[in-house]
Structure 1
Amino acid sequence: MTAVIFGAHPWNDTPYGLHHIARALVKLGWNVVYVEPAFSPLHIISGRRRGRTFSKRLRSSGEPGISLISPFSLVPHANMPLLRSSMALKFSKLLWPALSKTLKETVFQSPDLVLCGSPSMIRAAINVQAKTSAYRLADDSRLFDVLTPAIRKEEQSCLSEFDAVLITSPKLKVTARNAGARKVVFVSNGVDVNYFQTKTAIPSDMPLQGPRILYAGAIETWFDWNVIINSASSRPQYQYVIVGKVAIKPEVDLPKNVFLLGQKPYSTMPGYMRAATVGIIPFASSESMDAVNAINPIKLYEYLAAGLPVVTSIPVPHVEDAAVIVYSSASTFSEKLDEAIELRHSGYHIAPPKECEWTSIVARMLQSLNL
């Protein structure tokens, strides 16, 4: 069985949902081509190629069963003056090499599955003659300023052309239906449990005194710096460790017990989690809280796999466990941390539900797509 996956992130980036789905497909006996988002002269000049390279043929990802295509576009489409126009979007679709030529005379010319999660590559995905096609709607697009009005419009207009739309949160069902989706399937995010249960070295920059409150992930506009700062001030005995790329910096100086470690290789995440006491997901937005609540954070499952209780602002209806502690207001965040630390020390067994293992999720996805 063969699949062509159109990802929204380069293969060598921090793993997102489609990276994990590709690896799970291989474990289930599939062969996969992962089509990276197109790169352009803008990416080359700014040093943001992130491993993408020119090639007329499929190239190896370095992992068995997964090949790569890195399309090049002379004209980028970006949320910048001139480049955000519908005309720029049109020209950005002129890709080298042409995907049809790269896939021709390979087992991927007519794949069993095309799975797209990239708004910018949605038309290219539709053009692949697959037995089954699906679009993965992972988040509410209102969260991402990088998406232009033109690309949002195209995504909405194209969803009806796929055999199915896969949603990661039940809250995205209305979005898919309003766009004319023929079939909507809930496919949750998940975790490779073994990856986070393997004992790895604890990174040297991880604080080791007192309870350690860990956030591991990108710091975007919906990251609630205020709740971190207020909690750190009220709980000076706790160490707040923030690991991830900072897109939005705090507006005030951080308390001394908040450690901003920056972006780290994904391979070090099990080590950071091994040394942590609690994992947190402190998200908030004054403008689009409904969009934030539609996030199904992969980090939730990773924390649980690492044995960490989770304090989160986002309810996840299909994961009901005493180790997932939801706070409803900033004023209760610290109290919930206290509760989580007590649970951690109680000996309560913490693990994600078995059905949240990526291979199980993908097997159910294939069944729902009749594959």
Structure 2
Amino acid sequence: MEAALGRVARSKYPRRENLLVCFSHLRWNFVHQRPQHILTLASKQQRVVYFEEPVFEDLTHPLMRTSEPSSNILIVTPVLPLGTSPTKADAVQRRFVQQAIAAMPHSRLIAWYYTPMALRFTEYLDADIYVYDCMDELSAFKNAPPELGQMEKALLRRADLVFTGGLSLFETKRRLHHEIYPFPSGIDVQHFHRARKPGKDPADQADIPHPRVGYFGVIDERLDVRLVALAARTMPDVHFVMLGPVVKIDPSSLPQAENLHWLGAKPYCELPDYLRHWDAGWMPFALNEATRFISPTKTPEFLAAGLPVVSTAIVDVVRSYGAAGLVEIADGDDLEIKLRSVLSRPHQTLWPQVDAYLANMSWEKTWNAMAAHIERAHQGKKVVPLRRSA
């Protein structure tokens, strides 16, 4: 396996250049969000290895499964035998990381972390720059490992740079590191602007009556399913379209109604096809520990698609999009009033204001700013302080 990986790497990547190795708790092919946007842009300047959490299968020996979503990105998925102990899993992943890095000659190594838990098998790394892109408060999520807090403290000690996925997260962690910067969700405006143009309605929602209010994203403990049920019950003439994979909660616990449509996960490339046929977007998030620091990527995506949006009182949404008058903020008591209000407006009313607001929020701008911080940090580490004479 090592020899095969080495041959591929040497044939495809003969030059010594920067190598960014990312350690993530998210599958590359799960939901297209912050990591995919940022690292795809990063791959234009360097090679990227995206190291996923292991999967467990009925195997005799571990193997390293790889795929290449683009010419300069390699996805590495450790596949471990069922019943592998945590200690053994760490040892195998450590070996796989060593193999992947050794197979790709590089002049500079950037270790990029989305999960502090990866320190369990990367503590030996000698990277030029360590980046912690803290996109969520993972310790508040359902089924979070009990040692996550201690692992994050260790990562903060090692990191040269810390980026946060929103302002609230930045404010709660800003005193924990001397080089920490907020980078709220960006937007691929061109992609979602497609929803403002005519197009065919996807087959699985073509027969759903209007008006339609839609949601897209992961369906987990952050979604207020009671509020979803209440909306469907109190607004029987409105049809609620829910897109996204169901994780960490029992699918059978999702409310059911004739005007409530759970259509499952959809590829990122197809989202504009669905959104163009919705009359409004909504973000019925629960207000709990898991949502206290989130900065939903879908907020600017809804707006770029040209849809009016109603959201529960997520702090980063209220203080930015709500304060700018671009998103209506609602709770259980006035949800129907707010939804019917936005449904009564022409879509185009807010487009000039929305486009002006989103003009400086591209993922390209986000990555360029991150890259500038990385370069500055690297140059700073190269400066060797002069010794004082005796």
TM-score, scaled to structure 1? 0.82
Which one of the candidate residues 45, 48, 52 is aligned to 1:30?
A: 45
Contact in 1 for aligned 2:242/2:261 (Cα 8 Å): yes
Q: Report whether the alignment pairs 1:20 with 2:25.
A: no
Partner AA of 1:33 in structure 2: V
Q: Report whether the alignment pairs 1:64 with 2:63.
A: no
Look up the SS of the partner of 1:120 in the other structure. helix
Aligned equivalents of 1:53, 1:304: Cα separation in 2: 43
Aligned equivalents of 2:101, 2:133: Cα separation in 1: 22
TM superposition shift of 1:34: 2.8
1:44 corresponds in structure 2 to 57
Residues 121-140 of structure 1 show CA distances to partners (whole Å, capped at 9, x for unaligned) of 23545543333211011111
Q: Report whether the alignment pairs 1:54 with 2:55.
A: no
TM-score, scaled to structure 2? 0.78
Which one of the candidate residues 113, 116, 121 is aligned to 1:119?
A: 116
TM superposition shift of 1:370: 3.6
1:323 corresponds in structure 2 to 326
Contact in 1 for aligned 2:136/2:293 (Cα 8 Å): yes
Larger deviation: 122-131 or 219-228? Answer: 122-131
TM superposition shift of 1:72: 4.4
The alignment-based identity, stated in percent, is 22
Contact in 1 for aligned 2:52/2:76 (Cα 8 Å): no
Contact in 2 for aligned 1:242/1:259 (Cα 8 Å): yes
Aligned-residue CA RMSD in angstroms?
A: 2.9
For structure 2, the residue ranges without an aligned partner over 5 or more in a row are 1-17, 377-390
Aligned equivalents of 1:68, 1:168: Cα separation in 2: 23
Partner AA of 1:279 in structure 2: G
Matched positions, count: 343
TM superposition shift of 1:64: 2.9
Q: Report whether the alignment pairs 1:176 with 2:173.
A: yes
Aligned equivalents of 2:25, 2:200: Cα separation in 1: 31
Q: Map 1:127-206 onto structure 2 (within 5 A).
A: 127-173=124-170, 175-177=172-174, 180-198=176-194, 201-206=200-205
Which one of the candidate residues 344, 358, 362 is aligned to 2:363?
A: 358
Aligned equivalents of 1:295, 1:252: Cα separation in 2: 22
Look up the SS of the partner of 1:110 in the other structure. strand
Contact in 1 for aligned 2:139/2:145 (Cα 8 Å): no
TM superposition shift of 1:69: 2.6
Distance 1:222 1:192, change over 3 A: same
Distance 1:126 1:298, change over 3 A: farther
Distance 1:192 1:45, change over 3 A: farther
Contact in 2 for aligned 1:100/1:109 (Cα 8 Å): no
Q: Which structure: greater helix fraction? A: 2
The structure whose Rg is larger is 2
For structure 1, the residue ranges without an aligned partner over 5 or more in a row are 47-51, 78-82
TM superposition shift of 1:116: 0.9
Q: Map 1:190-269 onto structure 2 (within 5 A).
A: 190-198=186-194, 201-206=200-205, 207-247=207-247, 248=249, 249=251, 251=253, 254-269=256-271
Look up the SS of the partner of 2:333 in the other structure. helix
Distance 1:150 1:74, change over 3 A: farther
Aligned equivalents of 2:129, 2:302: Cα separation in 1: 34
